[in-house]
Amino acid sequence: MLKYLNIWCCPVLECIAQHFYECNNLETIHIGYVQNIKSLPRGLDKLSHLQKIEFEACPSLVSFEENVLPTTNLRVLLIAFCKNFRALPKCINNFTSLRELKVSNCSVGISFPEEGFPTNLTSLQISKAPRIYTSLVEWGLNRLTSLQELEISGEGCSSVKSFPEEGIGMTLPPSLTSICIRDFENLEFMCSKGFQHLTSLQKLLIYNCPKLTSLPEKDTLLSLEHLCISGCPLLDERCSRGKGREWSKIAHIPYVRLITNVMPRELD
């Protein structure tokens, strides 16, 4: 009974697709390095047991046609390094079982679905997708009331000075346990107001934000157990043990790691 299908560097995806009807017990499909796939093969929507589908390095993939993905049991959708991929399914908000969504290193013009994301997501990773980030902030990250893990990269978001964005009153879901932000070239500070309801937050990772100088106030980080800061030279200096301006905010955290250009330092 076939449950996992790995389609790798395959020039005849259409031929394999003919067998989808015979593999209705499939739970995972990974399609990688397929050069000529422009749209998804027919038959995927008939796979009622499909829980996970991954697309990796498919340069011709542009978008998904409507009603081509199963909406019943799909829990994980990953699209990475598909340089011309431009649009998620418009009806993705109807994927009521979807828990993990990752969109990484696709077209910088990839658009945010009109109806937004499924509010039951528990893990969301968005990388090199400035239009999605901007639209997601406007739509309201706080709508994702089950979200536990959030990873956002800020390539192309040069106007972002704070996280969450203070000027527009951006808020985060209180359910979050892990946040990773990276590559915000003009980010200057972490907004305390945006962190004040994150009482379950355990892990905070900040990478490659060269202008960042401050963290949220200590009373918003009391639940934090793991803090890692890398590629943030101004903040790194201010977090120096005992004498840094930001040290009092993080002294209570069990595991703190500051990674400089020279060597990583662990503070405990």
What whole-number distance in Å separates Cα of residue 34 and Cα of residue 11?
A: 7
pLDDT in tens, the chain (268 residues): 556 566 655 554 554 555 555 567 788 888 888 888 777 766 677 777 889 989 999 888 888 776 677 777 889 999 999 999 988 888 888 888 999 999 999 887 888 888 899 999 999 999 988 889 988 988 999 999 999 999 999 999 999 999 998 877 788 999 999 999 999 999 999 999 989 899 999 999 999 999 999 999 999 999 999 999 999 999 998 998 888 899 999 999 999 999 876 434 444 4
Q: Is 128 left (phi over 0), alpha (psi -120 to 50) or beta?
A: left
Residue 15: what pLDDT?
Answer: 47
Residue 151: what pLDDT?
Answer: 97
The letter for the amino acid at 60 is S
What whole-number distance in Å separates Cα of residue 178 and Cα of residue 183?
A: 17
Residue with tokens 């290193």: 105
